[in-house]
């Protein structure tokens, strides 16, 4: 790859064993964490493949077990953002305020 070429951003979902506390979640500021069963899903957009490897290295340095890492399609990424940090839970905007929707892409 030449200096003029760039990796495209990657929408990723990373599953780690156990529930991460606040302190551990802060180690991954670019990713949203949510519990799923006995595990934690870290979801978000990473700028390039090097950033993915950086997250993997941080997981290892913190002694966390990586169970799954997958690249999300654009549609999957949009659905994850719309569902918010907790599965199936919708948070209503304050009365009279507009509902904010995050866009991916």
pTM over 0.75: no
The CATH number corresponding to 10-83 among 3.30.70, 1.10.3470, 3.20.20, 3.40.1350 equals 3.30.70
Residue 42: CB atoms within 10 Å? 23
- Count of CA atoms in the C-beta half-sphere (13 A) of 23: 1
Mean pLDDT of 27-45: 95
pLDDT-derived band at 89, boundaries 50, 70, 90 = very low
Structural domain spans, the chain: 10-83
Report the side by side order of strands in the sheet with 66-71: 32-36, 39-46, 10-17, 66-71
pLDDT tens-digit profile of 43-73? 999 999 999 999 999 999 999 999 999 999 8
Arithmetic mean of pLDDT over the chain? 78
Confidence at residue 47, expressed as pLDDT on a 0 to 100 scale: 94
């Amino acid at each position: 790859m030449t200096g003029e070429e760039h990796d495209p951003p990657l929408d990723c979902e990373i599953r780690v064993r156990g529930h991460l506390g606040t302190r551990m979640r802060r180690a991954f500021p670019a990713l949203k964490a949510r519990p799923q069963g006995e595990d934690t899903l870290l979801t978000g957009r990473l700028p390039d493949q090097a950033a993915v490897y950086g997250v993997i290295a941080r997981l290892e340095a913190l002694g966390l077990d990586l169970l799954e890492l997958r690249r999300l399609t654009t549609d999957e990424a949009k659905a994850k953002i719309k569902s918010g940090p907790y599965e199936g839970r919708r948070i209503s905007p304050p009365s009279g305020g507009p509902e904010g929707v995050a866009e991916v892409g």
